[in-house]
Amino acid sequence: MNKSVTGVLGFVLALIAKSQIALAACGDPPAPGVDWSDCVQVAMTYDGADLSNANLQGLLVTGSVLTNTNFKGANLTDTRFATTDLSGSDFSGTRLTNVSFNGIRLRGAFFRNAALTGVSANNVNATEADFHGAEIVDSINFMLTLCRTVMPDGTIKGEACD
C-alpha cells in the first residue's frame, strides 16, 4: 500500500474508533464523571444515582426516573429533561445553563446556591424543592407548582397546600 492510502485508512479507522467510544459512553451506567454528552436516555430508572461531575451537556432524558440523584458539579449545559421524575435530586451549587425541564417532578429537589441561567421550566412540580441561595437569571416559561417550596431568598411559597 502506498503512504497516502495507509494514512487515509489510519485516519478513517481512528474516526471509527472515536465514534464507537462516544457511542459506548451513552450506554454506560450512571457514575461520577460519566460522559453522557449529546446522548439520549429513555426510560431509565435509578434511585440514588451519583452523576456528580458528569458531562451531561446536550443530554436528553425522557420518560425516566432519576430520584435522589446527585448532580453536584455536573455539566448541565443545554440538557433537556422531559417527563422525568427527579424528586429528591441534588443540584446544589451546580450551574444549569439553558436547561429545559418539561413535565418534570422535582419534589424535594435541592438547588441550594445553584446558578440557573436561561432555564425553561414548563409543567414542573417543585413541591418542597429548595432553591435557597439559588441565582435564577434570564429564565423563561417558569411554570412551577410551588408548595412548601423554599425560594432563593429563603421564604416559603405555598405553605397551605396539600
pTM: 0.82
Which domains, from first to last, does the chain contain? 30-157 (2.160.20.80)
pLDDT at 144: 86
Helix/strand/coil (H/E/C) assignment for every residue in 59-94: CEEECCEEECCECCCCECCCCEEECCECCCCECCCC
Beta-carbon neighbour count of residue 55 at 10 Å? 19
Q: Which three cell numbers mark 67?
A: 430520584
* Cα(104)–Cα(107) distance, integer angstroms: 9
Name residues of the chain where pLDDT drops below 50: 4-24
Query: Residue 159: its pLDDT value, please?
Result: 78
Instruction: Give pLDDT, residue 139.
Output: 83
